[in-house]
Chain A
Amino acid sequence: MTKPPGYRNRIELLQGTLDMLILQTLKRGPAHGYGIVQALRARSGDVLQVETGSLYPALHRLERRGWVSSEWKQSESNQRARYYRITAAGKKQLVADVSRWEQMIEVMGDILNAADGGAA
């Protein structure tokens, strides 16, 4: 497998973080799939590239779990698109995900710092 050029500059998403990012994006208002990709790319300064092969299965999975709901609407450019909206259960899930993520960062940071200290 040869990687496409430029791929190395992007960060691969950690397992399970995509759901959190999608929910976080939708918290600012309903969006369609393309909109979510654009928003994530813009907000990460072009570093995060969400693959459509991961995005759509994730959206459908979130909908099955009841964390997002969807409806068909006209976009501002008059294109019919499917808009996803975060539900109450989704918001609750997001809070849980975020707190777990922060805990994770903290633990990881401790471990990495401790390792640094040992080496020094």
Chain B
Amino acid sequence: MSWLPKWFEWRKDELDEEIRAHIAMDIANRMDRGETQDQAEAEARREFGNVALVRDVTEGVWRWRRLERFTAHVRYALRVLRRSPGFSITVIATLAVGVGAACAMFTVVDRVLLRPAPFADASRLVEIGESPKGGAAFHESPFLDIQQWQQRSRILEEVAFFRSNSSKVWFLGGNDDAMHVSSASVSANLFPMLGVHPALGRGFAAGDSGGPVAPGDAHTILLSDAAWRTQYGTDAAIVGKTVELNGERDTVIGVMPVGFTFPYEGMNATGLPVVWRPIVLTPADALRGHHQAPTYQCLARLRADATLASAMAQMNTIQPSVTATYTEIQDRENAASVNLRRYTDAPVKGNLRMTLVALLAASGLLWLIACLNVTSLMLARATARQREIAVRGALGASRWEIAEQLLMEGLLLSSCASVGAMGLVAGVLKIFQHSLTTQFHLHESLTPNLAMMGVLLLLTVVGTLLTSAWPALGAARASIEPALRQGAPQQGTGRAQRRARSALVVSQIALSLTLLVGCGLLLRTIYALRHVALGFRTEHILVANMTIPSYRYAGSDMTTALYQPLVDRVKRLPGVESATLLTEVPLGKTFQMIFTFDAQGNSASAIRRRALEAQFRAVGPEMQKVFGFQMLRGRFFTPEDTATSQPAIVVNRAFVRAYYGDDGDPGKIIGQSLFGYGKGWPAVVVGVLADERQVNVADPSQPEIEVCLPQITPTSMFYNAAEGRAMDVAVRTDRTPASMIPELRDILRATSPDLASSTFSTMDRIVEDSFGSQNLAAALLEIFGGSALLLCLTGIYGLLAYLVAQRRREMGLRIALGAQQWNVMSLVLAQAAWMLIAGLGAGLAIAWLATAALRPLLYGVKTNDPWSMSAAALVMFLGGLVAALAPARRAARVDPIEALRAE
């Protein structure tokens, strides 16, 4: 930009010369007419008028003049800010904290809540599930039902279906370099319905009957961009080649576009790249008998003019005729009504949504507090600069120019703060990466994007206006003369400003208290959650969530071929007390099986049992030793429960209560057969477990059924559902659980190379993660509340220090007239106490209302918990008094002689 000033200088010189020439010619002309030189010069200058004014107005016409003024303002602002680095750094740091917090929260909210699903018209995509009459269940549907919906519903534009298998790990590629992927089976019309087409190759071809894939494409797969990139290095020739997926040979027919994933990202718990397989109908799909046809998840697109409610009403009118072809009455009853929900609503549950909104609001509060703090600083500074500004005014700066100058300084400070805030955003997001992954299934790291930059810009501009507009307008309005004459800050504006700054500090106290109360409530929640009696032990337990290469064990019993030898080896490790297999540890979030009953008839107990949804786990006999569950009645599984003995099942107290609908003796269920493993192969309840918190720490015990893993053989009906999909190893050790990970991993790798990438965790960690949204909220509120407290205290300190400096003379006079040190100190402390009491009063009122937003997160504590409120108020009050102490002591130490002489 160095050429710009030079160019200006040159043009100004030229204009000067032009004006000089004008006057010179006039003089020459007048002298020709006979005037004397002196007379001519005087007349010529008089007639030309104000040279400076003409020059100024002419320069105003130049195009670059505005830019020049702008750069001059920036240069001057930079000089001013450099001259008082302490002030500048304080302001920049304060604003950076506020803007950083708000932007970090916005980035998360934007990613999780605001970004639309990457499907065309995602709001018209609905999931369809069947349930017993009027129920809220969401059962999968057989193809024949889906086909009838497609043909008969006028309100659905297209009906597609899929099977997600999301918790299972698949192996793509050769033997040892196999890549772990997740896989979903999809109907041919699914991707076209989503409005997504392969970036390379083609999609699955539709069969004769519309939705399902043509039999010709049975052994084909579609790759996601991530899988293609990682495993095949973006080799375009992969289309048409045959690759191995879980040991089967399939032809790659296409690659989907970058960023496309299905099922919708929030549901992909593993975060692995996806590979899609076709759904080709089998003869079983045409059967209407009990549990004979495979079932699918159904996804449909509503017509543009349809609403969710109207679609649901219409679907339910045709449903009776859809189910009429079922051969069994109980199947008909189980699918009696249809439920619809928006597909993209599902991943973020209401609870998390509330958490995010509450946290975004909290970060907004912190930003506001930072702005108030800076406004107060700016006001103080404007007073200190009164004389300088008056001089500028006297030299001809217009009011607008003065205001413009001060705004420019504010903008410069804001911009520096925003640059700093970018760093803070990256830092905050990094710290919370783990929570973001477990809570929102966000597997990529969040980076600042365009939307976030927009918010940053907005906060910068609004922040500038908030913090600088008031001081700038005040300075521009102030009259020049008294400021110049007196030299010292005026008493009149001083008082008004003192009041304004007190009000600012009071609002800061109120807002900070709100954050502190929220923080206190969550800390109490976390404390309560950590002290819930879970019903099992969590310490010293290491958990391996295995990636099971089930395809390698097709045709053999995985329990005897893989799992049992593995556990036996683990048990021999030094320091292992016991080890067990189980499909999913309590509170685990990677796999869930729900068991439902087909109770016949319309008796009260049949209706109750149809509504019963039990957690289903296949576990090893050592499970009780590892977790220390308590038995209420009967026995747990023992090593004598083998594939050849009577199948045994264990239920929990909650199950008995739900099954019988009363709170009687839990022992009455022992000996009952709830279901069979096959025809003439009944399983009998042998024991009842005490209640445990196995789904959520905050939720009471859910009904649960446990079956014995060694008894689940390939011929029993649960084998396919349970064994090949998910299996955890839980190890109880007297060592630090984490120190065992390498040895455990070695054993897994030795057993099968595919198991080496299993994930490890400790039971303590799993419990902590299970209340991750509270943990995340508590951690963020600690940061926000702590920052707010700190800002607030510096605000109190700053204002009092300023007041003491201003009232030095008065203090000196008081001391000279015999006031004791304590009298003077109490004067300052009383001022602080007054502000604190006003702020705390307002803050408690705001907190009373605002913390209602936290209700869904709280556990074991009410939103208006008096303990949290009084603790937060006490912290704030004591902190405020401590901040006031230093200015108070300075006031008490004023030397009366010096203070009085100084004036």
A interface with B by C-beta (< 8 Å)? 32-34, 38, 51-53, 56-57, 60-61, 64, 75, 77, 79-82
Contact = CB atoms under 8 A, between A and B. Distances in A.
Contacts of A57: 57-58, 60-61
A35 to B, nearest CB: 8
23 contacts: A32-B21, A32-B22, A33-B18, A34-B25, A34-B26, A52-B19, A52-B22, A53-B50, A53-B54, A56-B54, A56-B57, A61-B61, A64-B63, A77-B28, A79-B24, A79-B25, A79-B28, A80-B17, A81-B18, A81-B21, A81-B22, A81-B25, A82-B17
A70 to B, nearest CB: 9
A76 B897 CA distance: 77
Contacts of B57: 53, 56-57
A56 B21 contact: no
A9 to B, nearest CB: 15
A80 to B, nearest CB: 6
Contacts of B492: none
B25 A56 contact: no
Interface in B1-41: 14-15, 17-19, 21-22, 24-26, 28-29
B153 to A, nearest CB: 67
Given A32-B21, A64-B61, A80-B17, A53 B26 contact: no
Nearest to B51: A52
A111 B182 CA distance: 87
Closest CB pairs A-B (n = 6)? A81-B21, A56-B58, A34-B25, A60-B61, A34-B22, A57-B58
B87 interface: no
Residue of B19, B22, B28, B48 ringed by the most chain A CB atoms within 10 A: B22
A63 to B, nearest CB: 9
Nearest to A35: B25
Contacts of A77: 25, 28
A91 B14 CA distance: 26
Nearest to A33: B22
Given A51-B49, A52-B48, A52-B54, A80 B60 contact: no
B371 to A, nearest CB: 42
A68 B22 CA distance: 19
Nearest to A77: B28
Contacts of A33: 18, 22
A82 B14 CA distance: 9
Nearest to B22: A34
- State the main secondary structure of chain B at its contact with A: helix
B61 to A, nearest CB: 5
Contacts of B17: 80, 82
Contacts of A56: 15, 18-19, 54, 57-58
Given A33-B18, A53-B54, A82-B21, 16 more contacts: A34-B22, A34-B25, A52-B48, A52-B49, A53-B57, A56-B15, A56-B19, A56-B57, A56-B58, A64-B61, A75-B25, A79-B21, A79-B25, A80-B17, A82-B14, A82-B17
B29 to A, nearest CB: 8
Interface in B166-213: none
Contact of A53 (B15, B24, B49): B49
B53 interface: yes
A34 B60 contact: no
B62 interface: yes
B49 A82 contact: no
Contacts of A80: 17, 21
Interface residues of B, number: 23
A62 B61 CA distance: 10
Contacts of A75: 25
Nearest to A75: B25
A51 B49 CA distance: 8
Contacts of B50: 53
A64 B21 contact: no
A52 B63 CA distance: 20
A15 to B, nearest CB: 16
B852 to A, nearest CB: 62
Residue of B21, B48, B49 ringed by the most chain A CB atoms within 10 A: B21
A68 to B, nearest CB: 13
A53 B53 contact: yes
A60 B62 contact: yes
Contacts of B26: 34
A56 B50 CA distance: 13
Nearest to A81: B21
A19 to B, nearest CB: 12
A79 B23 CA distance: 11
A51 B47 CA distance: 9
Contacts of A34: 21-22, 25-26
A32 B22 CA distance: 8
B545 to A, nearest CB: 73
A52 B53 CA distance: 10
A32 B28 CA distance: 15
Nearest to A54: B57
A57 B65 CA distance: 13
Contacts of B53: 53
Contacts of B24: 79
Contacts of B28: 77, 79
Contacts of B18: 33, 56, 81-82
Interface in B41-95: 48-50, 53-54, 57-58, 60-63
Interface string B262-300: 000000000000000000000000000000000000000
A51 to B, nearest CB: 7
Contacts of B49: 51-53
Contacts of A82: 14, 17-18, 21
Contacts of B61: 57, 60-61, 64
A56 B370 CA distance: 50
A51 B53 CA distance: 12
A79 B60 CA distance: 27
Contacts of A38: 29
Nearest to A55: B54
B62 to A, nearest CB: 7
A31 B180 CA distance: 85
Contacts of B62: 60, 64
A60 B54 CA distance: 12
A30 B54 CA distance: 22
B343 to A, nearest CB: 60
Residue of B18, B24, B29, B62 ringed by the most chain A CB atoms within 10 A: B18
Nearest to A37: B22
Interface in B355-374: none
A109 B445 CA distance: 77
A77 B63 CA distance: 33
A36 B146 CA distance: 90
B702 to A, nearest CB: 79
A105 to B, nearest CB: 29
A53 B57 CA distance: 7
Interface string B522-557: 000000000000000000000000000000000000
A75 B54 CA distance: 23
Nearest to B26: A34
A21 to B, nearest CB: 17
Contacts of A61: 61
A83 to B, nearest CB: 10
B37 to A, nearest CB: 15
B564 to A, nearest CB: 91
A81 B17 CA distance: 8
Nearest to B62: A60
Nearest to B50: A53
